[in-house]
């Protein structure tokens, strides 16, 4: 136990001394993080590369332990080799983060480095063998390990958007894992986590608001990777049914934020790896929280999740499902309170039936497009249009092609606006061909359905009419009305 205390104290003091020294060095080198008006909200440039003093402090702590008269204790010394085996993987992630902080890497370059680090971690014995009592076959175990480690690595990176947020949550997660390791008698995990907890505590002195140094990718990626590894090591010692439940709860805040970001960007058709101001901490700021209050609130949430993870790991496995239900319910409530526009719109679309209408219209649109592409004459094209235009909210349709005019309904001589409101649009095709459509006011069909139909006519129908013209299709001799179909 004295050896663990030594590791914690030395890493804490090392980070407390090294962080300001390295911070000034990074500032002289120009390795600064400036506001970008999107995700980074600081008022002045701040040095980054915060992962360097954290990892150096951990290494110093291990070195002092090895040289101390305590000798490390038999249990601690037996556990150290498992720590050394993980160093190559951590070194790769740290190196990727440093390169990104200094030079800037593309997303796929960082991902490639993370996958390489995952391979090294797996070779060192960090492997997800199963979940919820289900044992994975070797290939699935490897894939699951990579997905988990990459997910944790980037989740902590994504939540690193406020002074002290990522480092504070990482401190809570690391400390909780250390407590679980002590309870389980897992000295390897205890020796791996306690120096990191001490280093994070010392670093947080300079990273908390107002921060004078940032984690940068060198810090956030490395912390996420380490926490992912610790979660797997914890699950290997936990009861079979508990498995990854406790680590999932432990990292609930960053993982939930990352999951919400992916879904939001998918719904909004934004790049998955892009930056935005829709993260949980940004939403709290938008609701009037100050930076410190937002961070403290997320600390509290992370603390509750940490307590739940310990409870899952220490109590009987029958309680696991109850805690998971609590977590899921809390997540749903939080999403509702944060008032994400993407999720609110999606929920209303589902409840009001708009989603099903859009889906059915899309299916209908694809069907019309396929039939137009298969048509062998202008008449066949017109028949497909006349059968479908009302499904997209239009009340009348007119086609002028090859000198001939087609109308539906047949009794209308034109496509006037009349006195009922609404609007009409004319889609100019090639060689003077034209489509005219009318939509009355008060139509309930979503406007995007009408736009999709018009866009399809502008592309697919225009190409088909041009094809007929090139083939020399004679076309009909007189105007035909849709009523004759």
pTM of the predicted structure, to 2 decimals: 0.75
The pLDDT, as a whole number, for residue 287 is 86
The pLDDT, as a whole number, for residue 241 is 47
What contacts 24+ positions apart, CB below 8 Å, involve 481-484?
Answer: 481/406, 481/407, 481/408, 481/409, 481/410, 482/382, 482/386, 482/397, 482/406, 482/407, 482/408, 482/409, 482/410, 483/408, 483/409, 483/410, 483/411, 484/410
Q: How far apart are CA 106 and CA 93, in angstroms?
A: 15
Instruction: Tell which of 219, 234, 251 closes a domain.
Output: 251
Q: How far apart are CA 195 and CA 178, in angstroms?
A: 10
Length of the chain: 485
The radius of gyration computed from the CA coordinates of the chain, to the nearest angstrom, equals 31
Strands (E), 197-303: none
Does residue 316 form part of some domain?
no
The pLDDT, as a whole number, for residue 35 is 65
The pLDDT, as a whole number, for residue 330 is 79
The pLDDT, as a whole number, for residue 416 is 47
Q: Both 114 and 234 in a single domain?
A: yes
Q: How far apart are CA 213 and CA 168, in angstroms?
A: 14
The CATH number of the domain holding residue 404 is 3.30.450
Does residue 408 form part of some domain?
yes
Q: How far apart are CA 381 and CA 42, in angstroms?
A: 58
Q: What number of other Cβ atoms are within 10 A of residue 152's Cβ?
A: 27
Q: How far apart are CA 226 and CA 211, in angstroms?
A: 23
The set of residues, in sequence order, having a beta carbon less than 8 Å from that of 418 and lying 6+ positions away, is: none
Q: How far apart are CA 365 and CA 377, in angstroms?
A: 20
Instruction: Tell which of 226, 251, 276 closes a domain.
Output: 251
The tally of domains found in the chain comes to: 2
Residue whose token pair is 């998918």: 266
The set of residues, in sequence order, having a beta carbon less than 8 Å from that of 301 and lying 6+ positions away, is: 252, 253, 334
Q: Both 82 and 201 in a single domain?
A: yes
Does residue 179 form part of some domain?
yes
Evaluated on CA atoms 255, 259, 261, 262, the torsion sign reads positive
The set of residues, in sequence order, having a beta carbon less than 8 Å from that of 42 and lying 6+ positions away, is: 33, 34, 35, 163, 211
Q: Both 125 and 12 in a single domain?
A: yes
Q: Both 220 and 109 in a single domain?
A: yes
| Residue 67 CB burial class (10 angstroms; 0-12, 13-18, ≥19) | exposed
Q: Could you read off the pLDDT of 182-215 as tens digits, one per residue? A: 988 888 899 999 999 999 999 999 999 999 999 9
| Residue 192 CB burial class (10 angstroms; 0-12, 13-18, ≥19) | buried
State phi, psi for 32 to the nearest 5 degrees: -120, 155
Instruction: Tell which of 251, 284, 307 closes a domain.
Output: 251
Does residue 319 form part of some domain?
no
Q: Both 246 and 375 in a single domain?
A: no
Q: Both 240 and 385 in a single domain?
A: no
Contact (Cβ atoms closer than 8 angstroms) between residue 242 and residue 312: yes
- Per the rule left: phi > 0, alpha: psi between -120 and 50, beta: everything else, 288 is left
Q: Both 97 and 241 in a single domain?
A: yes
Q: Both 196 and 59 in a single domain?
A: yes
The pLDDT, as a whole number, for residue 331 is 76
Closest among 164, 408, 416, 151 to 294, alpha carbons compared: 164
Does residue 323 form part of some domain?
no
Contact (Cβ atoms closer than 8 angstroms) between residue 427 and residue 437: yes
Q: Both 223 and 368 in a single domain?
A: no
**DSSP track, 95-146:** HHHHHHHHT---HHHHHHHHHHHHHHHHHTT----EETTEEPPHHHHHHHHH
Closest among 177, 188, 183, 314 to 247, alpha carbons compared: 177
Does residue 325 form part of some domain?
no
CA 24 distance to own-chain centroid: 33
The set of residues, in sequence order, having a beta carbon less than 8 Å from that of 238 and lying 6+ positions away, is: 184, 246, 313
Q: Which domain holds residue 415?
A: 354-484
Q: Which two tokens stand for residue 90?
A: 């951590």
Contact (Cβ atoms closer than 8 angstroms) between residue 118 and residue 89: yes
Does residue 285 form part of some domain?
no
Q: How far apart are CA 28 and CA 372, in angstroms?
A: 65
State phi, psi for 316 to the nearest 5 degrees: -65, 145
What residue ranges of the chain have pLDDT lower than 70?
A: 35-43, 70-77, 132-133, 238-243, 313-321, 341-342, 344-346, 348-354, 411-421, 441-448, 472-485
CA distances to 211, 335, 379, 454 from 300, rounded to whole Å, are 20, 17, 68, 52
CA 416 distance to own-chain centroid: 49
Q: What number of other Cβ atoms are within 10 A of residue 307's Cβ?
A: 15
């Amino acid at each position: 136990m004295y050896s663990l205390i030594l590791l914690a104290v030395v890493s804490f003091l090392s980070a407390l001394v090294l962080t300001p020294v390295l911070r000034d060095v990074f500032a002289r080198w120009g390795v600064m993080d400036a506001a970008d008006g999107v995700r980074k909200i600081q008022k002045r440039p701040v040095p980054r590369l915060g992962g360097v003093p954290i990892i150096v402090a951990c290494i110093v702590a291990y070195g002092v332990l090895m040289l101390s008269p305590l000798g490390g204790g038999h249990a601690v010394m037996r556990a150290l080799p498992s720590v050394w085996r993980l160093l190559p993987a951590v070194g790769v992630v740290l190196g990727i983060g440093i390169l990104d902080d200094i030079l800037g890497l593309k997303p796929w370059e960082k991902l490639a480095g993370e996958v390489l680090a995952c391979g090294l971690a797996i070779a060192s014995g960090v492997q997800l063998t199963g979940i919820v009592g289900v044992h994975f076959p070797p290939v699935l175990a490897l894939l699951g390990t990579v997905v988990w480690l990459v997910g944790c690595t980037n989740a902590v990176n994504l939540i690193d958007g406020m002074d002290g947020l990522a480092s504070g949550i990482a401190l809570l997660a690391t400390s909780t894992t250390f407590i679980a390791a002590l309870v389980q008698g897992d000295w390897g995990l205890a020796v791996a986590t306690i120096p990191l907890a001490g280093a994070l505590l010392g670093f947080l002195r300079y990273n908390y608001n107002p921060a004078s140094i940032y984690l940068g990718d060198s810090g956030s990626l490395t912390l996420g990777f380490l926490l992912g590894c610790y979660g797997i090591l914890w699950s290997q010692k936990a009861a079979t049914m508990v498995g990854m439940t406790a680590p999932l709860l432990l990292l609930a805040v960053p993982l939930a934020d990352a999951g919400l970001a992916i879904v939001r960007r998918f719904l909004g058709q934004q790049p998955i790896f892009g930056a935005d101001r829709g993260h949980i901490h940004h939403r709290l700021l938008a609701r009037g929280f100050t930076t410190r209050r937002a961070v403290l609130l997320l600390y509290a949430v992370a603390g509750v999740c940490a307590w739940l993870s310990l409870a899952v790991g220490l109590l009987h496995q029958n309680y696991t499902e109850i805690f998971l239900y609590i977590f899921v319910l809390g997540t749903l409530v939080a999403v509702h309170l944060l008032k994400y526009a993407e999720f609110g719109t999606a929920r209303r679309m589902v409840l009001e039936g708009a989603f099903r209408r859009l889906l059915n219209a899309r299916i209908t649109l694809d069907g019309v497009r396929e039939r137009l592409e298969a048509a062998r004459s202008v008449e066949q094209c017109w028949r497909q249009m006349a059968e479908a235009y009302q499904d997209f909210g239009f009340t009348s349709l007119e086609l002028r092609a090859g000198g001939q005019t087609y109308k539906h309904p047949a009794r209308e001589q034109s496509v006037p606006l009349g006195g009922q409101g609404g609007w009409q649009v004319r889609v100019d095709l090639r060689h003077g061909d034209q489509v005219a459509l009318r939509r009355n006011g008060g139509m309930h069909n979503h406007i995007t359905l009408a736009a999709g139909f018009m866009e399809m006519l502008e592309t697919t129908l225009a190409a088909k009419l041009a094809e007929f013209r090139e083939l020399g299709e004679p076309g009909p001799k007189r105007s035909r009305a849709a009523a004759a179909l």
